[in-house]
Structure 1
Amino acid sequence: MSGDTPRSLDQATLHAPLARLLRPLVRLLIRSGITFPMLAELLRELYVNVAEYDFALQGKEQTDSRVSLLTGIHRKEVRRLRGAGAPVNVVPATVSQTSRILARWLADPEFTDGEGQPLPLPRNAEPSQPSFERLVASVTRDVRPRAVLDEWLDRKLVVIDGQERAVLVEAAFVPRGGNDQQLYYLGRNLHDHIAAAVANVEAQSPRFLERAVHYDGLTKDAAEQLQRRSREVAMQALQKLNREAHAASDGVMPGEWRWNFGVYVYCEEVAPSAAAGTSTNSNDEEPRT
């Protein structure tokens, strides 16, 4: 990572991209019953929290007055909110547990076939044979494998085939709408994507890969075909990197760094007035690395 001093951007230049990235979040908030005053209170807490910890001067105590100056929030409010702020690094136990078990099932050669696909696993087997019980026990001994299997069957992450084996299904990769796991990754993945993009904007040279291929003026059939194909390519990349990350980290003493590789696909119909005059082209930006 570069040690470049972050660049300061003019407020007006941030208005349009900020409005665009916030629009789908505002839509989600309104649908979820989170009103503007509720969001304003959360933003007030976050402004104080970020100013308190991320903009402290080295060797100097961060004061209420300086936080107030940085944020535009009255000192009385700053004093009330110091030490507050929404937790951003807390991983729900069920999310962590499920993710670790799934990651091992998809990456560990013991639980995958010659092509790297997850094996159907008998509930129990000989100690030397792969099984669902052995899979869960290799990750955690805090819960019974039967309890995990029952939960996963209920959540339709696995099915039991005719040979009484647990089979991982595609739904395991896509959390159900609005559940704790999906909401956790909403925050985590959007945070990391935005953090990478912001780091690139602030730095003199891009620090992270953050690119997209985009075409306008497509037919519906072409757009849907590209969406299907991009899902296939994305899943191949995710599974390959999961195997490599598992091999690099399994059995190694834990460190203090984290890594996230994400892929997104988006497709929508554009109103004729907005699409008029557009041409079909791809992203021609220089590679961001």
Structure 2
Amino acid sequence: MKESHDDALPDAQKLQQPLARLLRPLVRLFIRCGATFPAICDLLRELYVNVAVHDFALPDKEQTDSRISLLTGIHRKEVRRLREAGAPVRMTPASVSRTTQIVALWLADRRFADESGAPAPLRRAGAEGKGPTFEELVEDVTKDLRPRAVLDEWLDRRIVVLDAKGRVVLTEAAIAPNRGDDRQLHYFGRNLHDHIAAAVENVTANPAPFLERAVHYEGLSDEAARRLEALSRKLAMEALLAANREAQTLHRSDAGGEWRWNFGVYVYREREPRGDGAPEDQAGEPS
């Protein structure tokens, strides 16, 4: 995103209320995990400078400390110190990337599916039976890892289990990482980033470039909220699996490039005691 003086952009004052709502669950996480206010302030200060330097550069003009200070409100001396410290590096842990690729193939490729299209239990190499093996699945993605090492790691993390026949069975933890799994924190950052980035682009661009919609009802009973949650989980997984199958097909024939794509969904419910008045909306789609 480049610097803009578009009068249609919301002013800073109007951003206060939605920002407070957006940040509240994050602040709750910070406090629970021991991330103190001074530590978060230090991080925000670094990000302000980094974003101003890289995302608000003017063509053919030097990005001076004075200009960064003007954009961010951070003193020039502090700007200089943070710029000299270097920018944070964005990277995906290797273990996260490998696991994601292998699981994605297992979910998408019909060679590794049962008759219903679900991920099939995979026999080990040399075991009785027909069809592809777990070793073939891993080697289809990477030749740099021994399939036995992948299996041992996945068994320890409960990404897979062995059934009564000794076959490797994919678990729910493969799709929804457990607490403490490195993948959970990786996707926490990446998926929230992409959702917020899409919403920001929709607020700042005309026409809005990304699909970012939700169906929401308020004033529901606990039973109704749970039924809608179960339905939305089912519909969401069907959509994700269909998109993953198409992505795997395209990925195999694609020449490659610099673009990335993310298709995500979320489902949420909470108890929200009613106020004196009626809920603001009974259903709707955020713009």
TM tier, shorter chain? over 0.9
Length-normalised TM-score, structure 2: 0.92
User: What corresponds to 2:188 in structure 1?
Assistant: 186
| Greater length-normalized contact order (CA 8 Å, ≥ 6 residues apart) | 1
Contact 2:216–2:284 under 8 Å retained in 1 = yes
CA distance in 2, matches of 1:145, 1:59: 51
Cα distance in 1 for residues equivalent to 2:244 and 2:192 = 19
TM score, norm. by length of structure 1: 0.91
Output the aligned Cα RMSD.
Answer: 1.9
What does residue 109 of structure 2 align with?
A: 108
Count of aligned residue pairs for this structure pair: 280
TM-fit CA distance, 1:95: 0.5
Match for residue 227 of structure 1? 229
Q: Match of 1:139?
A: 141
After TM superposition, give the deviation of residue 203 of structure 1 in Å.
0.9
Matched, 1:119 2:115: no
Alpha-carbon separation, structure 2, partners of 1:141 and 1:109 = 21
Q: Distance in 2 between matches of 1:284 and 1:27?
A: 26
Q: Any runs of at least 4 consecutive aligned residues in structure 1 with deviations exceeding 6 A, and if so which?
A: none
User: Displacement of 1:265 after TM fit?
Assistant: 0.3
Q: Distance in 1 between matches of 2:265 and 2:81?
A: 40
Matches within 5 A, 1:79-90: 79-82=80-83, 84-87=86-89, 89-90=90-91
Question: More deviation in 264-273 or 209-218?
Answer: 264-273
Whether the aligned pair in 1 keeps the contact of 2:48 and 2:72 (CA below 8 Å) is: yes
Query: Hey, what does 1:28 align to over in structure 2?
Result: 29
Match of 1:259 in 2: 261
The percentage of aligned residue pairs carrying the same residue is: 57
Q: Please state how far the C-alpha of 1:125 moved relative to its aligned partner.
A: 4.8
Aligned to 1:50: 51
Equivalent of 2:205, from 198, 203, 206?
Answer: 203
Q: Letter of the 2:132 partner, please give it.
A: P
Tell me the residue number matched to 1:62.
63
Q: Give the Cα separation in 1 of the matches to 2:66 and 2:22.
A: 31
Deviation at residue 280 of structure 1 after TM alignment: 6.8
The equivalences for 1:241-260 within 5 A come to 241-260=243-262
Unaligned runs of 5+ in 2: none
The 3 A distance-change label for structure 1 pair 279 and 54 is closer
Give 1:169 deviation, angstroms: 1.6
Q: Which amino acid aligns with 1:174?
A: A
Specify the code of the residue in structure 2 equivalent to 1:124.
A
CA distance in structure 1 between the partners assigned to 2:203 and 2:126 by the alignment: 53
Amino acid at match of 2:52: A
Offset at residue 123 of structure 1 (A): 1.4
Structure 1 runs not aligned, ≥5 long: none
